[in-house]
Structure 1
Amino acid sequence: MREVDLDVFASELAEGAFAIDVREPDEYAAGHVPGVRTTPLSELGAHLAALPTGRPVYVICASGNRSAWAAEHLEAVGFHAVSVAGGTSGWARTGRPVVRGTDARTA
């Protein structure tokens, strides 16, 4: 499992990277990175078919712990997964935009 910092993630996201947020729905609604799909860790297995197999799946959470676990799990079942160090909390702390609300795309 690979891990990237927020600057690399921001650059990849701007280029159209596929990213999922594995926090629970209430956390996601409280603030998430624009363009990142909600895929709660508790439901990850049910959403595997919706994840791309031919490109990296960036995984973000609040700080990087759940995303690291999820990325390891995804790697174990054949995906190329990348955990985002610092998570959504770090993203917000650096002044990057955060979207609030429940209108979300689910992977």
Structure 2
Amino acid sequence: MIEPKDVVIAILGSSAALAGFELVFLGIIIAAYQSYPGSVPEQVVQPYRLTGTALLGTFAVSLVTVAISLLWLSSGGPTGLYGWTIGLFAVQLVVVFVSATWATRMVLWR
């Protein structure tokens, strides 16, 4: 039988790793944004700003998932937080995939 504590510990580690993964994509977008000179029209750099903001939001979701996991572990494993931990991790997986795909598309196929 898999214990809830083992699941939350796995989610905690995975969420922290995915947060680092998001920072890699954010760094790529920032580097691409900074490669343009200051005289470039706003409509050229606006997609990079938007993507950077979305990646920062995804990073925030990752940190919230880590915080909820840590809160669950430190408070003795309340049932309500367990559901939130699982749910946030599922959301995190989706938003990490979408944002990483979007950032890769921006850098490689634009």
Bigger strand share = 1
Q: Same fold (TM over 0.5)?
A: no
Which one has the largest radius of gyration?
A: 2
TM-score by length of 2: 0.25
